Amino acid sequence: SFIQPPQVAWASGALADGPLLRKSTRIQDLTDVFADENARQQLAGEQVVYDVEMLDTSPAEGELYTGVTHLYPGRVGCEYFMTRGHFHARREQGEVYFGLRGTGLLLLQTEQGNARLEKVFAGSVHIIPGFTAHRLINTGEEVLSALAVWPGIAGHDYAALARGFRIRVFEENNRVQAKEVQNG
């Protein structure tokens, strides 16, 4: 008999048939992440901004993690819902993202502070090089789901960009507007 592998449902991004870990990140967890902190405080703290499902696999050197992020549609003030974003603790370690559903942007920023945005959509493939911070942004009306694969040893460094990335993305006049900001 053949081994039944874990599965990702391409249409929904749901992971199944493997040992799974789950984490929800809510409005109340995202203090000072969005430009308009007052607007964040007006929203219901329990509202989930994104869910991550992850295969519970080995974190040993050479092993890979696989996870799906489901980033819900919404805004804090005019700024689209987004993940906290991070460098890897092991800066040289890269990652691959695959867009599964919805539409959005992947914000990438180097250690020198150069930021760029890649379109995310069903089927998009994103090579995140080492030494590059990354954040997903949902600019659409639907859930944005993306599959990620990264080294188990990479780790997360959230502190390095706690003051924010160099680019923020807002809805203005019904259009997606990217703005360069001072901090980050």
Cα dist from 23 to 50, 62, 128, 148, 181, whole Å: 8, 24, 22, 15, 30
**Contact pattern for ligand PA5 over residues 25 through 54, marking x by CB under 6 A:** x--------------------------x--
Q: Of 36 and 157, which CB lies nearer to ligand PA5 in the complex structure?
A: 157
Longest dimension (CA), the chain: 58
Binding residues vs Ni ion (CB under 5 A): 95
Query: Would you call 63 helix, strand, or coil by DSSP?
Result: coil
Q: What are phi and psi of 35, to 5 degrees?
A: -60, -40
How many residues are given for the chain?
Answer: 184
Which of 8, 107, 147, 148 binds ligand PA5 (CB under 6 A)? It is: 148
Q: Which of residues 89-128 bind ligand PA5 (CB under 6 A)?
A: 95
Q: Please report, as residue ranges, which positions from 52 to 91 form the binding site for ligand PA5 (by CB under 6 A).
A: 52, 67, 69, 83-86
Nearer residue to ligand PA5 within complex by CB, 107 or 174: 107
Q: How many angstroms separate the CA atoms of 101 and 146, rounded?
A: 7
**Residue 67 touches which of Ni ion, ligand PA5, none (Cβ within 5-8 Å per kind):** ligand PA5
Nearer to ligand PA5, 43 or 151 (CB): 151
Task: Let me know: does 121 contact 99? Beta carbons within 8 Å.
Answer: yes
| Spatial CB neighbours of 164, under 8 Å, sequence gap ≥ 6 | 33, 35, 181, 183, 184
CB atoms within 10 A of CB 87: 23
* Pick 156 or 173: Cβ nearer ligand PA5: 156
Nearer to Ni ion, 39 or 52 (CB): 52
Interface residues with ligand PA5 (CB under 6 A)? Answer: 25, 52, 67, 69, 83-86, 95, 134, 136, 148, 150, 156
